[in-house]
Structure 1
Amino acid sequence: MSLIDLSLSGLSKPGAKLIEKISDAIGVLYEPTKIRKLAKAEADANRTQLISKLELEGIEKRAVERFLKKESKRQENIESISIQAAMNLNENDNISDINEDWINAFFKECEDINDKEMQTLWARILSEEAKSEGSFSKRTIKLLSTLNKDEANLITYFGRFVWQASILTPILLLDDNGDTDEISFIQLSTLDSLGVIQQGLGYNLTFNGKKGRISYYGIPVSVEFNNESKNEWTMNTGTALLTPIGSELMKICGSTPDMEYFNKVFNHFNKKGSQLNLTIL
């Protein structure tokens, strides 16, 4: 039996189903409007009454008040993330059976996240996991819990360089000085230290034929090589490779396409003497 105490009006059926799954796993959730305000008022009254009954004084009383206030804030954070995740789901989404251990691990890592923008990021993870169980590992969740807002924004910024090939692949160009264009070495080093990317001297995409296909934010692009040698059907992608954690974060980081960068990539590979050509399909 569900411990749910939530008005599900306004949510899609998949959204309501997600709330029920969360409630079964971790306990009661309240609607973040009148019901939540009522619940908070009742909780404040009950807390005062409980402390009074316990006849606590001095440091013991302050300790109990601090504990209850902390847990109340954690509950508020859990509910905010849960409702946002549920609202991300529409009627066409199929909800998978999320592992209860995963749910508990998830909320353990995000229950102290008070920042609203960071809560939105956590909500995206929860809704995506609901649609496809196993999309996010516990390791990725652990990393996300350590990020500050600047680091999260850097991951979002890096997403503009990521293309879809056989796997998610960043393509980084060099500027006239031989430095990585539009993203600094320090920024790349930060992403490397976080475990989002792996830096190297240079990486390539290897194709099985003279013609291949990649895409950039849904824009399909044909890759055609100008030689007949199988050993040369490779496309240089720069000095960074996404780690498994980085690939998972790219799904929910909120990145948007950068068409100026997109055109730079086209100009780079289509310049005279290039071993390949790009064409929008």
Structure 2
Amino acid sequence: MKMAEFNLVKVPGEVAVKVPALDKLLDYVASGVGAIAGPMLAPWRASREGKARIITAETDAKARQIQATKEGSTSQLIAKAQAEARESVVPDKLESDGSLRIGPSEIQNAMEFQAKKRLMNVGAIAGHAAEELKGKEVSDHDPDPDWAARFFDGAQDVSSEELQKLWGRILAGEVKSPGQTSLRTLSILRNMTQKEAQDFSNLMRFRFVDFILIGALQKVLVEHSDLGKLIIHFFDIGLLSESTTWQPIITLEDDGKWGVEHCCGHALIIEGRPGQCLKDLLKDSNILFIIAAGKELAKLCNHQQPDEEYLSHLASLLAKQDCKLKLGKILERHDNNCQFSDIRTIEPFGHIEKSPIAYLKRLALTHLWDLFSHRDDSSPRRIP
């Protein structure tokens, strides 16, 4: 089945030269942190070749040294430093006036700790990227030095394991398809906490193409007040937007179907009349648009399972257009075509208010209403 896709561009006549993905990853890491990228990725390259003898004795020694620094995680390194700091809280470290005595050894220790922590962070992220890329080939290309500089400048300070995995997926994605993640997205991600990344991943369960239909979220919002807060937050930091002047139009294919990737390897399939236009579906529901940075991050998130309640409400909106909504697992994807399994029909929920504005007024001073009226009040309220 043909899937909806708006960002595929094919250039006829170009023949891409393929190279091992791990070799290209090495180029990227070296562009960011220098020659230490060699020993940092040596274990994965040795595994790929299937013979450790290709690594010289000197490189192998460096590789072991790097692995030793990664004996645990950055959090363990920090915990060790915290423990040592508690043990060294003694008067002889203070000047007579009570100020901290900082000598050459203290400065050197601080610099070494920071450098070691940052290298461990980069090593962990490169390792996650290597795991995703091992055994694959990519087109041969030169890493963008500006992108690599910006990426590793942010990556070196990412100590959370979950965020390291996310940054690893970004690096692997850039190796596979340069330009997949913009500098703007890196800037936003650099300032995101682990909780924010997880919250955004959860919010993307309600993604429908590149927007979120508020009309299908009515009951979900009533039962999960935190969802409204998340929408406002990601609206504020530039991952979501609203528009009152432009409405997307969905037109079913000649076979009366229209599919779009959803989350967790699933796709949504709309069935109706051949060539049917569903502009009224979107006209009757306020829409939040997922802007460029949000779309890039959405592709990298580890989504939760599809939200059945949300899909049921979405099916109710589609039922008003004499359409059915189905959910299927994506088996294979080749260019713009997909094969599915376990396709099932989503049963419509009950009544959904036709007017989203009336619904928002009914919610009165809830957080979602604050979003659309551009008011700033984060105090919790009970939804009537």
Give TM-score scaled by structure 1 length: 0.74
Counterpart residue number, 2:197 = 152
Q: CA deviation at 1:84?
A: 1.0
What SS class does the counterpart of residue 184 from structure 1 fall into?
helix
Q: CA deviation at 1:198?
A: 1.2
Query: What is the identity percentage for the equivalent residue pairs of Structure 1 and Structure 2?
Result: 18
Please say if 1:244 is aligned against 2:274. no
Please say if 1:233 is aligned against 2:263. no
Please say if 1:214 is aligned against 2:259. yes
User: Per the alignment, do residues 150 and 220 of structure 1 end up closer, same or farther by CA in structure 2, a change over 3 Å counting?
Assistant: closer
What SS class does the counterpart of residue 323 from structure 2 fall into?
strand
Q: CA deviation at 1:226?
A: 11
Counterpart residue number, 1:126 = 171
Q: CA deviation at 1:220?
A: 4.7
Residue identity in the other structure for 2:304:
T
**1:132-171 pair list within 5 angstroms:** 132-164=177-209, 168-171=210-213
Q: CA deviation at 1:201?
A: 6.8
What SS class does the counterpart of residue 128 from structure 1 fall into?
helix
2:306 to 243, 246, 258: 258
Unaligned runs of 5+ in 2: 1-18, 44-62, 72-100, 327-342, 344-384
Alpha-carbon contact 1:206-1:233 (below 8 Å) kept = yes
CA distance in 1, matches of 2:136, 2:309: 33
What SS class does the counterpart of residue 259 from structure 2 fall into?
strand
Counterpart residue number, 2:114 = 70
Q: CA deviation at 1:122?
A: 0.5
Q: CA deviation at 1:70?
A: 0.6
What SS class does the counterpart of residue 272 from structure 2 fall into?
strand
User: Per the alignment, do residues 40 and 240 of structure 1 end up closer, same or farther by CA in structure 2, a change over 3 Å counting?
Assistant: closer
CA distance in 2, matches of 1:199, 1:179: 21
Greater mean deviation of Cα atoms: 21-30 or 115-124: 21-30
Alpha-carbon contact 1:96-1:132 (below 8 Å) kept = no
Counterpart residue number, 2:65 = 35
What SS class does the counterpart of residue 235 from structure 1 fall into?
helix
Alpha-carbon contact 1:175-1:181 (below 8 Å) kept = no
1:205 to 224, 248, 261: 248
1:59 to 96, 99, 103: 103
What SS class does the counterpart of residue 302 from structure 2 fall into?
coil
What SS class does the counterpart of residue 181 from structure 2 fall into?
coil
1:185 to 207, 223, 228: 228
Which one has a bigger Cα radius of gyration? 2
- Residue by residue, what CA displacement relative to the aligned partner does 1:75-111 show, whole Å, maximum 9, x if unpaired? 1111111121111114344145321221111000121
CA distance in 2, matches of 1:259, 1:86: 32
CA distance in 1, matches of 2:221, 2:280: 21
2:157 to 112, 118, 121: 112
User: Per the alignment, do residues 182 and 263 of structure 1 end up closer, same or farther by CA in structure 2, a change over 3 Å counting?
Assistant: farther
Alpha-carbon contact 1:15-1:87 (below 8 Å) kept = no
CA distance in 1, matches of 2:137, 2:226: 36
CA distance in 2, matches of 1:84, 1:176: 38
Please say if 1:275 is aligned against 2:305. no
What SS class does the counterpart of residue 94 from structure 1 fall into?
strand
CA distance in 2, matches of 1:18, 1:239: 39
- Residue by residue, what CA displacement relative to the aligned partner does 1:175-218 show, whole Å, maximum 9, x if unpaired? 35985978632111011112111145798431346855132344
CA distance in 1, matches of 2:129, 2:221: 43
Between the two proteins, the alignment pairs up a number of residues equal to 248
Q: CA deviation at 1:74?
A: 0.8
CA distance in 2, matches of 1:276, 1:160: 24
Residue identity in the other structure for 1:82:
A
Q: CA deviation at 1:157?
A: 0.4
What SS class does the counterpart of residue 219 from structure 1 fall into?
strand
Unaligned runs of 5+ in 1: 1-11, 42-56
CA distance in 1, matches of 2:175, 2:134: 12
Residue identity in the other structure for 2:105:
K
Residue identity in the other structure for 2:316:
H
Alpha-carbon contact 1:174-1:180 (below 8 Å) kept = no
RMSD over aligned Cα, in angstroms?
3.5
CA distance in 2, matches of 1:220, 1:91: 31
Residue identity in the other structure for 1:108:
D
Q: CA deviation at 1:34?
A: 3.4
What SS class does the counterpart of residue 207 from structure 1 fall into?
coil
Q: CA deviation at 1:155?
A: 0.6
Counterpart residue number, 2:353 = none
